[in-house]
Structure 1
């Protein structure tokens, strides 16, 4: 017979008929015996592996599973005769099958042979093709299985790298670029993978890309994580720069130059992800997010909850905006963090729990999460902060405070509370040399001062953030502060002798051009139309109706005013009645003010009353200015109109 476990557990008779293995417990017994590779597994070990808390009749149940498996495996065996495959031996059971009858044993033998011989390594493709998915994919996630999956996944990655190394050494390479590129993206902490990809690129006639790959590896392993690249990567970089003959296949190496003695490195694994790239913005930011999720996925496949927790928690990139740039990815990260949190349990390492909780708080953005999930995120923020304070870890506290900030948009009018968070972020980060979070603190304070209409204080924080950004190469900061300066121009355009509305619109458009290339679609989409609408409201003009404007997520709140600008009053009234409550994010005051303004214009006292109730706590703030990027003017103006309308004098 034949048994396959590199994927779902399956078995086949010699004639090709599938073996009916029964339910999950039957397959788990078979899988556990496969993992023992011909060794006897005592019944008490099997029972402990099958049940976290064995039931009273566990031994009888195990014997029932074994009997059923024997009938399925050897259907023609005569009653009361000894099984030749699933054998009773001493106090337990074993599987008596040749190695070639089990896919995982064939794979293990092939990798062992590849370690002994490069010729065998080059032929590992057939063995790697045995994998149909995660090992034992359909079995319950028990402890023995987590350990076995971790071992086999590491063996699979070693096999892939052994094969690629052997093929590159023998002269192949160009056709490995795509395969190794995917391998690096999925497993960015494996140092050998970076070297193999660089060699393949060089072999494909792309030395510049090979060098860029090694520099990315240096950033990932060295500058960002405090780990120096190993000697093999350093030597490879030198060889590529010098076009060393050692990089050529044997048949193309100049005569008289012997091959360099090869020093195989085992897999070098780190538990943190790149984060400095994210601060650079643009393509680097997008790539950083992509690599992050690939690494989390790969870590989860190992079954090692501690590794997964460290990988998730290491990405402590400061976040200033409440709308996720990639909501699907954010939800995937939150789900992975939740799974890791459940696996390490309430008694797990406090620092790991705090990082996972902070990740949940940071990734559960208000614009993309509602209801119970948002309550969970806010609880996570508070617990992460408490753990970080108990641990007296300043970097962890800064990460947790970021989550507290992002979860502080529960209602309008909380600028002062956020400013207090910004004050602590600046203080903690300044004392402990955490420049990225010091920048975050300055931007939080800029937003808070902008919301309160204190443009002088906001400008001071903008300047401080820009100085830090210059010193630490944080390229996104000037993109954000350019929007703040456009917001100042817009506010002053409504003052006597201030700049013109056209100058303010031009400033917004210039800032938008830079933002379009910054890799932050969640922030960018719809922002310019909302800013231009705010500018028009400051000057008592109707909403902009240019059909080329993409209103993005703000369209429901803008639509009544867009229809009013086209004198489509009844359609505007219907649109106003369909407007949802704004999400709890940076723009909630602005969106409530749009609702209040439309309700006042259309004489809808019920809707005006709802808007007035929401806005009273923000009476002293400026609409939209919480973002630090635009303004619709004082909330008090819109509140007064809504209250008048609600009293029946709209």
Structure 2
């Protein structure tokens, strides 16, 4: 049993299991240390941070030595291979699905992609993992509060989504039962009240549906001095008129990565080091900015890395393309990309959604809306601890939490390089690969290599320009493309790529 995989449960009291059998972790300090490491996973926690989580304000005389003692006790239960130490601090190295909270989130994400009946089964499995409040024994600990609230909000949302599925399955009574539990826990939760009003109406309990509205209205006025939202007031009128539309409730569409962001089918050339660096940075930091001139391949690099990053962090991705956005449109575009639809206050809707989400959010081409992006990113980092941000822009955000990955053009061959050496330069490798993809029979003669090297230098090694030039060279010849630089020859691709090329700082 000692070598069996460990399972850790936090959706209730903290429990550890091996091969289905409960493993005792005795003592409040090792338990607090484990909880703190789980809350921050996969990121490391410094010894000082771990000491603060374990002892709060009454630190021992030698905090770091005391932390080592607690960690040693934790390792005696979990194993040295699970509780690891690096230059930053301590972290947990756990396979995907080890923690019940992670399994809960994964099941909820999967449910969003499935047909109604299968989605209902998936959400039932997800909700069945809960045994009580998340991190229940640490509810008053500062390190656990934010994560416990986030997971609790996810549970409420999952219950609401389950109620919507019950309505889609024509089981209004089941929907009512689920929603009554939600509003009992959160009496001012407007979405739950609106769904409950709809479920009661569809169950033939119109009077109760209207009473539900009045009860919420009284609570909002007495506690917050507010009236129900316009959407709820409209629903009340529809119930009075017996005109509630069948489409009044629906699951939000699953998040998608735009088709243009799917990894390219061709070989990804010249960015091997950048790929590894971006993966490491995005896995270790919540905000990473990929910067560089137009056409250098920022978006392409992120698109290539994104599938592996989602696998490593076990989080889905959402991509927001801001290339043509005006500053006042940024919040709306983010809301639309998250499937939130129209919202009177799009930023508030985005922040509320992300606060309960575990997600990789890519904000692409932010240079024209840098101030607005910076403002939004700052708020996301504050309210959404499980959201990782990857930003592409010609300029950095200049934020303290920002990890910057500057992307340089591909290195062209030196004019003094011979043909054998020239073809190994990253810019030449890309140009030749794209040329041969379009014209497989291309012969790498000495004159062609010489001309191709000059094309790479003229285009400053910018990948987008090289790809377009190679496409033209497959039809016109490399020499024609080279001589065309002085005669006004355009590197024309599709309308989108040509426009993108013009935005680059080419000679």
TM-score range, shorter chain: 0.3 to 0.5
Higher RCO (Cα < 8 Å, 6 or more apart): 2
Structure with higher Rg: it is 1
When you count helix as a share of all residues, which structure comes out higher?
A: 1
TM-score by length of 2: 0.45
